[in-house]
Amino acid sequence: MQPILQAIDVRKAYANHVALDGVSLDIPEQSIFGLLGPNGAGKTSLIRIITQITGADSGEIRFRGQRLNPSHIAQIGYLPEERGLYKKMKVGEQLLYLAQLRGLSRADASARIKSWLERFDVKAWADKYVEDLSKGMQQKVQFIATVLHEPSLIILDEPFSGFDPINANLIKDEILELRKKGATIIFSTHRMESVEEMCDNIALINRSRKVLDGPVSQIKETFKTQTYEVEGKGHLLVVHPDFEVLEHHDRENGYFYDRIRLHAGATPNDLLRFLIGQVEVHAFREQIPSINEIFIRRVRETMPESLVEEEAEARR
């Protein structure tokens, strides 16, 4: 299937630094796409190009195969990281205004505002001034404003910041619901657990380049290190050319916990057989790297040598 959004060799430079350097991405239709990267990596620049706030210096963005142009604005919803509302405007009027700017008719907008406010159980807010709402309430209003015009591509930059766990969950459910209804969500965040939980695909951007992308499950597969966690009882002594103990902990009553890596050619069953000969095995599982670990690893790896040295220097 054709991706909903394609970035092809996008480059963007500011006066004294390059924000994006030849970034290409494919974002599949009806998926949740995690856009990851440390602060200052170029995520916001990429998002601002997709939302047509700025343009790329070279390269191209395609929306469903078409070169991105102002007619696509109505199909894109955007919740920026730095977000706010007009304080001296009523919630209802504000939503109406923002929806109309996105190309919705007045009548349609009114009907949808009503149903969204009902959905979030906040019908009474429509006539309240934004400045009288709590921060969490304002965040909800901003979320409604983002999705009110039923965009097919929704870009959420750190959507959970500022939400309490209950409301964060509510928003999470809404995001999953939107995908079910056919929307694609680009999701920029630092919260790795939500990436793991929700994203189908991710791309990692570091120092203005894409350093990793693909389906989450596939990435995890690639980043597996053939490491297994073993828990059991007995005295474990590993002297074997195929296995390497990375970590060993003795626990009370003769229990232990080990992390063991297989060398090339060895299978988990070999290790298991070896273990059974020595100790009582209670648990045996493959250690799958979390996105967080992959993130940190890749960021470190793609750091230029000089910076690695600098960091080492600083630690000393």
Partner 1 sequence: MDKIWLIIQREYLTRVRKKSFIVMTLLTPLLMAGLVVGPVLLAKTGSKQRIVEIVDAGNLFGGVVPTSEKIDYQFVGTDVAAAKASFRKSKHTALLIIPPGFRLDQPGDVQLVSRENADLETTRRVKNAVDNQIEASRLRQSGIDRTTLDKAKSDLDLSSIKLDEAGGEQASNSGVTTGVAFGLAMLIYFFIFLYGVQIMRGVMEEKSNRIVEVIISSVKPFQLMMGKVLGIAAVGLTQLMLWILLSWGATTAVAAVTGAPGMAEQRMEQVTASSARTPEEAAKEKAKMSQAMEGGVLKAMGNLNLPLILGSFLFYFLGGYLLYGALFGAVGSAVDGETDSQQFMMPITIPLIATIIVAQSVIIRDPNGSVATWMSMIPLTSPIAMMMRIPFGGVPGWQLGLSMLLLVGGFLATIWIASRIYRVGILMHGKKVTYGELSKWFFYKA
Q: Does 136 bind partner 1 (CB under 8 A)?
A: no
**Cα–Cα distance, 315 to 155 (Å, whole number):** 37
Angle, in degrees to the nearest 10, between helices 135-147 and 106-119? 130
Binding residue for partner 1, selected from 20, 25, 35, 85, defined by CB under 8 A = 85
Give the nearer residue to partner 1 in terms of CB position, either 74 or 303: 74
- Cβ 149 vs Cβ 104: under 8 Å: yes
In terms of Cα–Cα distance, which of 116, 86, 121, 90 is closest to 104? 116
Q: Does 76 bind partner 1 (CB under 8 A)?
A: yes
Give the nearer residue to partner 1 in terms of CB position, either 10 or 291: 10
Beta-ladder partners of 245: 260
Interface with partner 1 by CB under 8 A: which range of 94-102, 170-178, 202-210, 226-234? 94-102
- Shortest spacing between CB 149 and partner 1, in angstroms: 9
**Cα–Cα distance, 41 to 46 (Å, whole number):** 10
- Shortest spacing between CB 15 and partner 1, in angstroms: 5
In three-state secondary structure terms, 198 is: helix
Interface with partner 1 by CB under 8 A: which range of 45-53, 60-68, 251-259, 280-288? 45-53
- Shortest spacing between CB 68 and partner 1, in angstroms: 12
- Shortest spacing between CB 63 and partner 1, in angstroms: 14
**Cα–Cα distance, 155 to 49 (Å, whole number):** 12
Place of tokens 């695909």: 201
Interface with partner 1 by CB under 8 A: which range of 100-108, 162-170, 199-207, 249-257? 100-108
In terms of Cα–Cα distance, which of 41, 46, 133, 127 is closest to 84? 133
Using CB under 8 A, list all residues that contact partner 1. Answer: 14-15, 48, 51-55, 57, 73, 76, 78-80, 82-89, 97-98, 100-102, 142, 145-146
